[in-house]
Amino acid sequence: MSADHPNVPATRVAEHRVVVTGAAGFIGSTVVDRLLALGAEVVGIDDYDPWYLPARKQANLATASVHERFSLVEADAFDVIGDVLRPDDLVIHLAGRPGVQDSWGLGFTDYSRRNIELTQRVYEEALGVGANRVVYASSSSLYGGSSTSDNRRAAPISPYGVSKLAGEHLANVYAERGLNIVSLRYFTVYGPRQRPDMAMHRMFEATKANGSVFIRRGDGLQRREFTFVGDVAEATILSAVAPAAPGTSLDIGGGESASLLDAMALVEELAGPMRTETLPAPAGDPRATAADLQPTIDVLGWVPTTSLFDGLSAQASWHAVQPDHDMVIELG
């Protein structure tokens, strides 16, 4: 992906200060790097939530942290968002607790706090200060299993999906009050810096000598619309400046469907044989997901440009230089 990607109007992004919550995470740090390349002034907020290694997140920000147009507020966004925001800021709200499996049981407390209560606070402060636009990181999880049907609708099948849908309901409520907000429903994001609980990260680590074992959940025929993180960053930044009605929700998908077995085969082609074990499919795992990209194309003029093979190649290169097996998390 070149720094002068035609999709994003660089001058419009550089006109604003951009506040990115969850800046040190997988998607957040990729968005930050891209914003800096486009000439924006960026303020990141991240509390280094310890559910996966903070050192990993510090590494994500290694380049940004020495950039003159970047600063990081290392704190819970709930506590500091009101002090950080200024009138006319663009706000990219990515902070949250991702992952389906931990959202069952007592784990939901953290999802409620980080995905619902924090999101309401960000909207409240953005409305109060007069932010230019808020982009909310929603999720394909809110569709449950319905995204491939003729009757696709918000029908989550996990507590995580419920928490992300709550963020969209809140977005609609605040849009009614005048907040300029767009929600993006990301479909299974992959690529360099991918979270250690996510399937492709665990697959690559299971190809390393002395690495972990990839635990495949279910028969491997579950299908996902996998979306490359560089494409997600482009869509996210574009949605911060593109004309869009407040309260708009858009699918952000990679345009290519693959089964888990397909993905495993590609990873083995790129990185070598993988150690695997199989367990039953977990609760809250949809059989298939598929994005409807036409409304996204109509509003943003954005299309994904990275094939699954090219995106996995980039992820393979990243894993090849990571410390061995420091970072695989099995959930549920």
Which residues have a catalytic role annotated? 160
Residue nearest to ligand NAD as judged by C-beta position = 25
In terms of Cβ atoms closer than 10 Å to its own Cβ (0-12, 13-18, 19+), residue 7 is middle
- Write out the DSSP string of 50-64: TTS-HHHHHHHTTTG
What letter would DSSP give residue 130?
Answer: T
What's the closest the beta carbon of residue 63 comes to ligand NAD, in angstroms? 16
CB 68 within 8 A of CB 34: no
Estimate to the nearest angstrom the gap between the alpha carbon of 29 and the chain centroid: 10
Total Cβ atoms within 10 A of residue 130: 14
* Smaller CB separation from ligand NAD, 45 or 274: 45
Q: Is 186 in the site for ligand NAD (CB under 6 A)?
A: yes
Q: Which of 76, 124, 256, 268 binds ligand NAD (CB under 6 A)?
A: 76
Helix (H, G, I), strand (E, B) or coil at 183: strand
| Pairing verdict, β 223-225 and 257-259 | antiparallel
What's the closest the beta carbon of residue 188 comes to ligand NAD, in angstroms? 5
Q: Using the rule CB under 6 A, give the single segment among 184-192, 200-208, 292-300, 306-314 that binds ligand NAD.
A: 184-192
CB 218 within 8 A of CB 280: yes
What's the closest the beta carbon of residue 51 comes to ligand NAD, in angstroms? 8
Total Cβ atoms within 10 A of residue 287: 11
Q: Using the rule CB under 6 A, give the single segment among 35-43, 83-91, 181-189, 306-314 that binds ligand NAD.
A: 181-189
Q: Is 46 in the site for ligand NAD (CB under 6 A)?
A: yes
What's the closest the beta carbon of residue 76 comes to ligand NAD, in angstroms? 4
- Angle of helix 159-176 relative to helix 118-129, nearest 10 degrees? 20
* Smaller CB separation from ligand NAD, 10 or 77: 77
Q: Is 195 in the site for ligand NAD (CB under 6 A)?
A: yes
* Smaller CB separation from ligand NAD, 10 or 135: 135
Per-residue x/- marks for ligand NAD, 15-34, CB under 6 A? ------xx-xxxxx------
Residues of span 102-161 touching ligand NAD by CB under 6 A = 114, 118, 137, 139
Q: Which of 8, 18, 43, 77 binds ligand NAD (CB under 6 A)?
A: 77
- Number of residues written out for the chain: 332
**What phi, psi does 321 have (nearest 5°)?**
-110, 10
Estimate to the nearest angstrom the gap between the alpha carbon of 161 and the chain centroid: 14
Q: Is 289 in the site for ligand NAD (CB under 6 A)?
A: no
Q: Is 189 in the site for ligand NAD (CB under 6 A)?
A: yes
* Smaller CB separation from ligand NAD, 18 or 137: 137
Nearest partner of 256 among 297, 219, 293, judged by Cα: 293
CB 45 within 8 A of CB 19: yes
* Smaller CB separation from ligand NAD, 10 or 289: 289
Q: Which of 57, 202, 223, 319 binds ligand NAD (CB under 6 A)?
A: 57
CB 138 within 8 A of CB 186: yes
What's the closest the beta carbon of residue 113 comes to ligand NAD, in angstroms? 7
Binding residues for ligand NAD, per CB under 6 A?
A: 21-22, 24-28, 45-49, 57, 76-78, 94-96, 98, 114, 118, 137, 139, 164, 186, 188-189, 195
